Amino acid sequence: MGQFTKNLTKTLLSNGDVKELFRQQLETAINHILQAELTALLSYDPYDRSGFNTGNSRNGQYYRLIDSEYGKLKIAVPRDRKGHFHNHLLPAYSRRQDALETTIIQLYSKGVTTREIADLIEKMYGSYYSPSTVSNITAQVTKQIEAFHQRTIKANYVCLFLDATYLPLRRDSVQREAVYIALGITSVGIKEVLDYRIAPSENAGVWSEMAEDLKKRGLEQVQLIIADGMVGLQPALLHAFPKAKFQRCLVHVMRNIGSHVRLKDREAILNDFKELHSATDVTAAHKILNDFYGAWGKSYSNLIQQLKSIENELLAFLSFPPAIRQ
């Protein structure tokens, strides 16, 4: 698993700042492109012996801070000894900040092809580079991305955890876009990012496509799927993995509860429901839920009926070892 996917896993599991993670990734991507620009000028890679005695070489770098939608970026601008290198990325960034941010984030989207990425970068650079040079720059950026999205996946994971978070991407009329993330959890509780993609909003169709794509890349068996209760999501996922049990994400359930109760009751009712996390087995969980129903049934009868209707999906995780539940 690459460093970005490790960081993404850690951020998601700790309820960290995904926006900051993408700021770091944006910063890294811009720095990689600048290095690729200098390589295009010099016509040889760093430490390549073919570049010796060519009359020009790399000569360190200087730093600039630039603003972005995700925060300040520390950019290392490379230099050559003859002073011929004049990067065109940062001036374009200053003029068209939103467009560039959108482009870089799109590079990490499953649906963007290499040719489309090349077109986007070519528009960004204007007429500064030939198509072949744009292709070389694109290859520098997309190599790791394509390898990640095309890699073979293990055949078996105990759990498949699916969630979406929103990032601010000001593109046309869309203010935010959903980042879909699929985590696999092994039998010993190790969590791995299996795939991710970006779409204007969260919908069951995208999750269904991701599940089918994971199967094509080698995923054969999943015992438990954890996701929210979006309409159409459960049947779509169980069609891909018919032997799996379905578990409602308890964080999403709690958010839904909080949005349907009076403010004065919110803290107490959420604390009561949170007791479900401490249940050691199904019997203990049923007792916690029954106590919860009894305490709040008169005040919120409709909400309690909704929870009763999905009770099996609230407790499916208890059939699995503690390492999987964490």
Q: What is the pLDDT of residues 209-237, one digit of tens each?
A: 999 999 999 999 999 999 887 777 888 88
Average pLDDT in the chain:
77
Q: What is the pLDDT of residues 108-123, one digit of tens each?
A: 443 445 555 555 555 5
Q: What share of the chain has pLDDT > 90, as a percent?
A: 29
pLDDT value, residue 131: 57
pLDDT value, residue 95: 39
pLDDT value, residue 149: 83
Range with the poorest average pLDDT among 56-60, 132-136, 152-156: 132-136
What is the rounded average pLDDT of the residues 70-74?
Answer: 81
pLDDT value, residue 156: 92
What is the rounded average pLDDT of the residues 112-136?
Answer: 53
What is the rounded average pLDDT of the residues 246-266?
Answer: 92
Residue 100 or residue 310, greater confidence: 310
Paired with 74 in beta bridges are 65
Residue 318, pLDDT > 60, answer: yes
Residue 310, pLDDT > 80, answer: yes
pLDDT value, residue 288: 95
Architecture in CATH of 153-248: 2-Layer Sandwich (3.30)
Q: What is the pLDDT of residues 43-57, one digit of tens each?
A: 776 656 555 566 677
Range with the poorest average pLDDT among 22-31, 85-94, 125-134, 272-281: 125-134
Q: What is the pLDDT of residues 142-193, one digit of tens each?
A: 666 777 788 899 999 999 988 887 765 545 555 567 778 888 888 888 888 8
Residue 89, pLDDT > 50, answer: yes
Full-prediction pTM beyond 0.85? no
Residue 104 or residue 255, greater confidence: 255
Residue 244's pLDDT band (cuts 50, 70, 90): very high
